Amino acid sequence: MIVLTRLSVWASLVGLLFTTWILMAAKKQEPMPTPIEPPPTSPYATTVAASGIIEAENENVRIAPPAAGLITKVFVKVGDQVDLDAPLLQLDDRELRAQLAVRQAAIAPAEARIEEQRNRLEDLQVQYKRLQAVHDRRAVSEDDVKRTWYAMEANQRVLVRNEADLIQAVAQRDETKILLERLTVRAPRSGTVLQVNVRAGEYATPGAAEALLLLGETHRLQVRADVDEVNAPLVQAGNPGVAYLKGSTKQAIPLTFARIEPYIVPKKSLTGDNTERVDTRVLQIIYHFARPPFPVYAGQQVDVFIKRDGGAATPPPAQEPGKAP
Amino acid sequence: MNYVALKMLFGDRAKYLMLLCGLTFCVMLIVQQGSIFWGLMIWSESGISNLNVQIWVTDPNISQVAEVKPIAPTTVERVRSVPGVEWAVPLYRGVGRARLANGEYHQITLMGLDASTLIGRPAHMEEGRIEDLRTPDAVVVDQWAVERMGGPEVIKVGTIFEINDRKARIVGIAHVQKDFQNIPSVYATFERATAYAPPERRLLSYVLAKARDNEPVEAVTERIAEQTGLGAFTQEEFGWKTIVWVLKNTGIGINFGTTILLGFIVGMAIAGQTFYLFTVENLKQFGALKAMGASTFALARMIILQAFTVGIIGFGIGIGLATLFGTLAASKGQLPFSETWPLLWIVFGSLLAICTFSASISIIKLAKLEPAIVFR
């Protein structure tokens, strides 16, 4: 064969084989590396997904002070079980105590004045009786009798006023007492102290962003699932769901439907940043669940999948919410 | 007849070598330029291929992977609600400024991966473990960050630096495909990346998803797009979108296209001219063959055999040289070079076109040939 005698033919063959070898050995697109944890997947054929948060079944109570003031004592610590009306916090009450002493002291003089007035009145009553008892009308002047009567009547009125003064003084003392009681913040219901955000010596103002104490019932927990309002029509009341804790998708928590919150609220971004970003609005659905064998905590984030029957209800082609003016 | 044809071809050593050189360099030029071009395109879509996930969901008007338009945070759940989606996780992608202890600063691409699954993570780690991303202030940088931000002495596991004025600690070095713009990537968890990111109303850049195994990916992306009103793309679609954007918005396509076209034209000119001269010089022999009774068709077959023989030999040497260049120059990933089978087939096709073109000139000449020329 004439072809095989040429060097160039061999060079060409070498080039072809070399290229083939290099290209064959070249890295192929590898499959995606397996996720560290399996990502949460829906166990249902059709689903409505939501992000949820675990919370105490009857909503947490954010304890607030009745008035601005210095906190002198915190009676509870995190985790304490408290009963109804158990004292939680003591606000500074020195001012009211001082006032109470003054008002308490004002009662005794008022009582004394009544006593004094009674005596005076009795004296006048005796005088008047004596004047009336005289048989001979000429022995006493008519003027004396009239004067004594008027004096007696006037003192009678003074006594009434003094008695009213006493009632007022007592009422003023009671007011201070009630105000004093108010400075001891008590548990509005029994529960567990979930958070204590205040220490003795700090100044509490009503309406602060952070609650002084967070009181909740952690024996029974529930899941509050946020569904984007665009997907709200897909939610079928009564359908069960599952929840996966963030970062552990192996164990599903079965959920039973409790209720749908009738009012749609703006979703808060849970990025941990302190500037709260309000973005889309969400429909909130409440789910009950039995405590799983593994620990769950109030405030934990979960991925929720809610069962959706059939593919019947599809949402309208949604406009990107961002485009709305 | 074939033997005669090949004898004629190889007999004239000088002309044969010239023909061969012309075709070889033409092939080599096209393959080498085409590979560099394709390598650049692969770099440009590295932002997608490095993550290696099936479906990308984001704003429908997105033009390419680096031009992020943040979407609403509930989009993850909305994508999960679409039938046929197996899973969906968030991804943050943004630009940040890294400041090193020595005062140097560099622009970086900040990637925030879903904390529990770390979907989208680099497939290979040169050092460290990707799971350590979950520790406080942890980030993973790619090997290009090591190269660009001061070498292995400065950037190593344990280095502490700042991203947008917040502390970051390197826990690993990943091995990924280089980026077109050569901006190093820094990987963190989604939550940490959004903490590094400048405050914005929305911080979700992409939703990464996978279709259920029994569903075709295209059907699922279509369904996502229809039900959420967002843009859903498969990895390939999004890669092409990015490549098309690069071609439209940079001069790369025109530059390389011109070079490849020049290679094609020069190859065609050299081969055509030489081959024509070759035929003209051998006219007497062809005339004798014709006088002996060979048909024009038989002669044309001879010519085509000659042309294709030299063409195929040139092709082999050409791609061999180009591959050699590629493996020597681009072995460390510093140079974009990606030789692919489709490119080789295209080059082979164009080479056959060049050969056919040069052969046809000669065949026309032969068709008009009078056998009497032998006696002149």
Give the pLDDT score at B111: 93
CB distance A262 to A237 below 8 Å: no
CB contact under 8 A, A48 and B81: yes
Share of chain B above pLDDT 70, in %: 98
pLDDT at B57: 94
**What pLDDT score does A108 carry?**
94
- Chain A partners within 8 Å of B45 (Cβ): none
**B250: number of CA atoms within 13 Å, CB side?**
16
Residues of chain B with Cβ-Cβ distance to A12 below 8 Å are: 312-317, 320
Instruction: For residue A183, give every residue at least 6 positions away whose Cβ sits within 8 Å of its Cβ, in sequence order, or none.
Output: A66, A67, A69, A90, A91, A92, A93, A96
Are B192 and B111 in contact, with CB atoms under 8 Å apart?
no
How far B159 CA lies from chain A's nearest CA (Å)? 24
Q: Is the pLDDT of residue B332 over 80?
A: no
| DSSP letter string, B56-95 | EEE-TT--STTS---B-TTHHHHHHTSTTEEEEEEEEEEE
What pLDDT is stored for residue A269 in this prediction? 57
Residues ≥6 apart with Cβ < 8 Å to A323? none
A230 neighbourhood in chain B, CB within 8 Å: 78, 228
Taking Cα atoms as reference points, which of B45, B37, B21 lies closest to residue B336?
B37
* Closest CA relative to residue B59, chosen from B72, B45, B78: B72
The predicted pLDDT at position B288 comes to 82
**Which candidate from B6, B115, B202 shows the least CB-CB separation from A2?**
B6
Contact A314 B317 (CB under 8 A): no
Report how far residue B338's alpha carbon sits from residue B37's, in angstroms, rounded to the nearest whole number. Answer: 8
Per-residue pLDDT of B198-248, as tens digits, reads 877 788 999 999 999 888 999 999 999 998 889 999 999 999 999 999 888
Mean pLDDT of A77-102: 92
pLDDT tier for residue B47 given thresholds of 50, 70 and 90: confident
**Cross-chain Cβ contact B20/A322 below 8 Å:** no
pLDDT value of residue A35: 85
Residue A316 confidence (pLDDT): 45
For A53, the token pair is 């948060």
Report how far residue A270's alpha carbon sits from residue B204's, in angstroms, rounded to the nearest whole number.
12
Give the model's confidence band at A158: pLDDT under 50 very low, under 70 low, under 90 confident, else very high: very high
Q: Tell me whether residues B229 and A317 touch, CB distance under 8 A.
A: yes
Which residues is A204 bridged to in the sheet?
A69
**Alpha-carbon distance B8 to nearest alpha carbon in chain A (angstroms):** 11
pLDDT for res A268:
66
What mean pLDDT is predicted for residues B68-73? 88
The shortest CB-CB distance from A2 to any of B3, B115, B226 is to B3
Phi/psi of residue A110, each to 5°?
A: -65, -40
> Among partner residues B119, B131, B312, which is closest to A39 by beta-carbon distance?
B119
| Pairs of CB atoms within 8 A across A/B | 182
Determine what percent of chain A is predicted with pLDDT higher than 70. 89
Q: pLDDT value at position B179?
A: 83
Question: What span, in angstroms and rounded, lies between the C-alpha atoms of A45 and A24?
Answer: 41
Identify the residue with better confidence: A270 or B17.
B17
Q: Between the ranges A112-126, B41-55, B277-291, B343-357, where is the mean pLDDT highest?
A: A112-126
Q: Are B147 and B179 in contact (CB under 8 A)?
A: no
Question: Are B191 and A271 a contacting pair at CB < 8 A?
Answer: yes
Q: Tell me, what's the pLDDT at A32?
A: 82
Q: What is the mean pLDDT of residues B45-69?
A: 89
Q: Do B119 and A35 touch (CB under 8 A)?
A: yes
The terminus-to-terminus CA distance of chain A in angstroms comes to: 80
Q: For A127-135, which contacts have Cβ atoms below 8 Å and span 24 or more sequence positions?
A: A127/A152, A128/A152
Is residue B44 within 8 A of residue B243, CB to CB? The reply is yes
According to DSSP, the residues that pair with B210 across neighbouring strands are B87
- Tens-digit pLDDT profile for residues B310-324: 888 989 999 999 999
Residues A3-21: what's their mean pLDDT?
Answer: 83
Cα–Cα distance between A111 and A87 in angstroms, integer? 35
DSSP string, B96-108: EEEE-TTS-EEEE
B40-43 long-range Cβ contacts below 8 angstroms, 24+ apart: B40/B180, B40/B246, B40/B252, B40/B256, B40/B336, B41/B243, B41/B246, B41/B247, B41/B338, B42/B177, B42/B336, B42/B338, B43/B177, B43/B178, B43/B179, B43/B180, B43/B336
- Banded pLDDT at B365 (limits 50, 70, 90): confident
Write out chain A residues lying below 8 Å of B86, CB-based: 41
* Residues of chain B contacting residue A277, judged by C-beta atoms under 8 Å apart: 201-202
Give the span between the Cα atoms of B28 and A19, in whole angstroms: 12
CA distance A257 to chain B (A): 18
Alpha helices in B155-295 (DSSP H): 190-196, 217-228, 235-249, 252-281, 283-291
Q: Residue A1 has what pLDDT?
A: 59
pLDDT tens, A209-257? 888 898 887 777 889 999 988 888 888 888 999 999 987 778 889 999 9
DSSP E strand boundaries for chain A:
47-56, 61-63, 69-74, 81-82, 87-91, 184-186, 191-196, 203-204, 213-216, 221-228, 241-245, 248-260, 265-268, 278-288, 301-307
Mean pLDDT of chain A: 85
Q: Identify the three-state secondary structure at position B234.
A: strand
Map tokens 């004067």 to a residue: A147
Q: What pLDDT score was predicted for residue A187?
A: 92
| Separation of alpha carbons B57 and B68, rounded Å | 11
DSSP per-residue string spanning B129-194:
-GGGGGSTTEEEEEHHHHHHTTHHHHSSTT-EEEETTEEEEEEEEEE-PPPTT-PPEEEEEHHHHH
* Mean pLDDT, rounded, for A84-104: 93
Burial of B339 (0-12, 13-18, 19+ CB in 10 A): buried
Mind telling me how many Å the CA of A265 is from chain B's nearest CA? 13
By CB atoms closer than 10 A (0-12, 13-18, 19+), residue B186 is buried
From CA B51, how far away is CA B121, in angstroms rounded?
6
Residue A2: list chain B partners with CB under 8 A. 3, 6-7, 10
Cα-Cα-Cα-Cα dihedral sign, residues B338, B341, B346, B352: positive
ipTM (interface pTM): 0.77
Q: A316 to chain B: nearest residue by CA? A: B227
Residue-wise pLDDT tens digits, A176-202: 999 999 999 999 988 889 889 999 999
Residue extents of the structural domains in chain B: 2-43+251-375, 72-229
Contacts of A307 in chain B (CB under 8 A): none
- Of the candidates B182, B28, B29, B162, the one whose C-alpha atom is nearest the C-alpha of residue B100 is B162
Q: What pLDDT does A277 receive?
A: 56
Radius of gyration of chain B (CA): 29
> Whole-angstrom Cα distance, residue A47 to residue B78?
10
B81 and A15: CB-CB below 8 Å? no
Cα A289 to Cα A189: distance, rounded to the nearest angstrom = 23
CA B133 to chain centre: 31
Does residue B250 sit in helix, strand or coil?
coil
Q: Does pTM surpass 0.90?
A: no
Nearest to A64, CA basis, from A94, A92, A89: A89
Evaluate if residue A107 carries a pLDDT over 90.
Answer: yes
Nearest residue of chain A to residue B125 (CA atoms): A33
Closest by Cβ to B78, choosing from A30, A228, A246? A228
Q: Which residues of B touch A46 (CB under 8 A)?
A: 83
> Is the pLDDT assigned to residue A27 strictly greater than 70?
no
**What integer pLDDT is reported at residue A322 of this predicted model?**
44
- Using CB atoms, pick whichever of A227, A272, A315 lies closest to residue B77: A227
**Residue B173 pLDDT more than 90?**
yes
Token pair for A266: 């703006």
Listing DSSP states for A71-83 in one string gives EEEE---TT-EE-
Give whole-number Cα distances, A317 to B227, B228, B329, in Å. 5, 6, 51
Give the pLDDT confidence score for residue B276 in this predicted structure. 82
Contact across the interface for B323 and A249, Cβ inside 8 Å: no
Give chain B positions within 8 Å (CB) of A276.
Answer: none
More confident residue, A314 or A92: A92
**Rounded CA separation A12/B316 (Å):** 4
* B128 Cα to chain A: minimum distance (Å): 15
Which of A11, A35, A230 is closest, CB to CB, to B78? A230
Residues of B in contact with A42 (CB under 8 A): 80
Q: Is the pLDDT of residue A73 over 90?
A: yes
Contact A272 B87 (CB under 8 A): no
Tokens of A24: 């064959």
| Contact at CB, B77 and A51, closer than 8 angstroms | yes
Name, in order, each residue with C-beta under 8 angstroms of B300's C-beta and a sequence gap of 6 or more. Answer: B359, B363, B366, B367
pLDDT tier at B193, thresholds 50, 70, 90: very high
Residues A147 and A141: their CA atoms lie apart, in Å, by 10
Q: Quick check: A32 and B53 CB within 8 A?
A: yes
Beta-carbon separation of A48 and B71 below 8 A? no
Q: Which of B123, B227, B319 sits opposite A16 (nearest CB)?
A: B319
Instruction: Please tell me the predicted confidence (pLDDT) of residue A313.
Output: 43
Write the DSSP assignment of A28-47 as a string of letters. Answer: PPPPPPPPSSPPP--SSSSE
Mean pLDDT of A291-304: 87
CB A162 within 8 A of CB A117: yes
Helix (H, G, I), strand (E, B) or coil at A270: coil
